Structure 1
Amino acid sequence: MLKNASTLTKSIVNATDGEIGNVEDAYFDDVAWAIRYLVVDTGTWLVSRRVLISPYSVVPPLASDAIVNVSLTRSQVKDSPDVDTHKPVSRQHERAYLGYYGYPPYWNDAGLWSMGEYPLIPPAGLSHSQEERDQRESDVKPEDVHLRSMKNVRGYFVEASDGNIGHIDDFIYDVDSWAIRYLLVDTSNWWPGSKKVLIATSWIDRIDWLDSRVFTTLTQDAIKQSPAYDESTILDRDAETRLHDTHARRGYWNKEG
């Protein structure tokens, strides 16, 4: 199922033995286009401390837009490595975080999540040996971190191949794989009588982080012809197919498996 990532904001996060706090933000991977961590404000419980929650720990399916259940105890969360959410998350911090919880590093394999497309911890017999993990770790440069704040990226201008078309209003993600499938673009600052449209993340050409702009290979006219996105309805495969057919693009579901 596909949902707007903004529905996660303010969701209550429940551990196995009580409430942890509320989702404040999410960090996504700008290469694989996947949500890697939820940023949770613990409020007065941990003196306004913010902690990271990995999709590895989220109990599927998501209970609702207002509740996220995780397979962690409050004590585990309390003792988890600190993170300064005002600074970029380093690979060193990720290693410490994932090591603390015993989660496999997602960057070590071709799959979206370690050895697969879903954030599932592989059985011990299927995991990589320590020697393999050490070798893969040595191949990852410390600077190869591509985590971005969703809160910060909302509002980025979106550039078609021939000019501006609007700004990012939201992200559409798969609740099972946590893959970001689309950017929801508001065209109101470009096109009178505007509409909100979807741009598949596979149609993104590049991102200028310094200038806060996202570039797509689509033209302005192509986006103008794109079907409007109705946030009150469920984005099903038929709607996705119509969108991809409009732009003569192959769907991501035809490239997998």
Structure 2
Amino acid sequence: MTENMWAFQPTAGHLGGTDLTGYTVRASDGTIGKVDKHSDGVGDAFLVVDTGVWIFGKEVLLPARTVHRIDAQERVIFVDRTKEQIKNAPEFHRDQHLGNGGYREELGTYYGSGAPFGGRPA
């Protein structure tokens, strides 16, 4: 299940090679920040979002599967998670986690669990 978390949904409207840096990211209940880095590699797609003051300047890593829709004209990415779900995800540290398979597995499990729209497994 977690491997599917690292590919964009067919309905997202993502075109490979599109630079998403700087796009605003909106959760189902409000804006969470802007894309600082992204990957659209096959089976390795994700967004690194700078949350600014929302969670004290931290970054979060979102698997591509969380992307519901991309509005290229408005430069907005809509994700199908709440701000609280994103805030409660396993903490992300760029220098430790970008190449860390264990962290990606943990994050994939968190977002891909049976709980509605992700969440820590019971």
- TM-score scaled by structure 1? 0.35
Instruction: Report the counterpart of residue 63 of structure 1 in structure 2.
Output: 71
Letter in 1 for 2:27: A
Whole-angstrom CA distance in 2 between matches of 1:63 and 1:77: 20
1:19 matched to 2:31: yes
1:99 matched to 2:109: yes
1:90 matched to 2:100: yes
Structure 2 gaps of 5+ residues are: 1-13, 114-122
The CA RMSD over aligned residues, in Å, is 2.0
Instruction: Report the counterpart of residue 5 of structure 1 in structure 2.
Output: 18
Distance 1:92 1:26, change over 3 A: same
Whole-angstrom CA distance in 2 between matches of 1:54 and 1:43: 19
Q: Which has the higher contact order (CA 8 A, sep 6+)?
A: 2
Structure 1 gaps of 5+ residues are: 104-257
Whole-angstrom CA distance in 2 between matches of 1:94 and 1:22: 21
- Structure 2 SS opposite 1:99: helix
- Structure 2 SS opposite 1:47: coil
How far residue 34 of structure 1 moved from its aligned partner, in angstroms, is: 5.1
Distance 1:75 1:2, change over 3 A: closer
Letter in 1 for 2:24: I
Deviations, residues 73-120 of structure 1 (Å, cap 9, x unaligned): 0000000011211234311101110111126xxxxxxxxxxxxxxxxx
Whole-angstrom CA distance in 2 between matches of 1:57 and 1:78: 14
Whole-angstrom CA distance in 2 between matches of 1:2 and 1:69: 15
Instruction: Report the counterpart of residue 48 of structure 1 in structure 2.
Output: 57
Check whether the contact 1:23–1:38 (CA below 8 A) recurs between aligned residues.
Answer: yes
Distance 1:35 1:92, change over 3 A: closer
Check whether the contact 1:57–1:70 (CA below 8 A) recurs between aligned residues.
Answer: yes
Name the count of aligned residue pairs: 98
Letter in 1 for 2:21: T
Identity of counterpart residues, as a percentage? 29
Distance 1:14 1:81, change over 3 A: same
Check whether the contact 2:16–2:40 (CA below 8 A) recurs between aligned residues.
Answer: no
1:36 to 45, 57, 63: 45
Deviations, residues 34-63 of structure 1 (Å, cap 9, x unaligned): 552100000010111110111211113x12
Distance 1:82 1:2, change over 3 A: same
Whole-angstrom CA distance in 2 between matches of 1:45 and 1:55: 21
Letter in 1 for 2:47: L
- Structure 2 SS opposite 1:86: helix
